[in-house]
Amino acid sequence: MADISIEQIKKLKELSGVGLTDAKNALVEAKGDFDKALEAMRKKGLTKAEKRGDRETREGLIDSYVHDGRIGAIVEVNCETSFVAKTDEFKDLAHKMAMQVASMNPLYVSEADIPAKVKDAKMKELEENFKGPEKMKAQILEGQAKKAFSDKVLLAQPYILDDTKTVEQFIKDYIAKTGENITIRQFKRIELGVTE
């Protein structure tokens, strides 16, 4: 067995959001390879994050971001407890979400927030221009609609500071670290000289 220090175990626990025993077991399984153990624990943490998704979020905070005095965004990010809401990590997440909204100008938080008439209009347009195999039509149209709205849905957008993941995946990383469900309730973006 590789030489595993308590410092390594604590560091892995802190970075991955898992318990001490899980962190130690991961290091033992990875034969002391910290990076390998961290990757395994992150995957495990993300799996736990999926299960936390239905827990209620009544705490949180509102943060804002103003870019160059011309574009501003305000975002409400929620979590389960006031303890997590007061952490620097959570404040950082809220600020990054305000930056995301200012930069990428989404219209909706999630796909569920897209009004039915907007979805229906887009589906009708896609159907009129459809040129694929008839037996695959429903599947293809669904995929095209999802793609058409991806830049307008905050959770589906590529995260501005790491475009290898979506905003939703980025938030799930935080859920894995904090052990709490985290949601974005609402946002508002204002641009100088532009009215809705």
Residues 122 and 181 in one domain: no
Residues 82 and 169 in one domain: yes
Q: Residues 110-162: pLDDT tens digits? A: 988 888 898 888 888 888 877 877 888 788 888 888 888 888 999 999 999 99
Residues 18 and 103 in one domain: no
Query: Please, which residues have CB within 8 angstroms of residue 64's CB and are 6 or more apart in sequence?
Result: 72, 73, 74, 75, 98
Residues 95 and 128 in one domain: no
Nearest to 162 by CA among 175, 150, 171: 171
Q: Residues 83-116: pLDDT tens digits? A: 989 999 999 999 999 999 999 999 999 988 888 8
Residue 185 lies inside a defined structural domain of this protein: yes
Residues 183 and 92 in one domain: yes
Residue ranges of the alpha helices (H) in 53-115? 82-85, 88-104
Residue range(s) defining the domain that contains residue 124: 115-150
Residues 42 and 124 in one domain: no
How far the first Cα of the chain sits from its last, in Å, is 63
Residue 145 lies inside a defined structural domain of this protein: yes
Contact call for residues 76 and 184 (beta carbons, < 8 A): yes
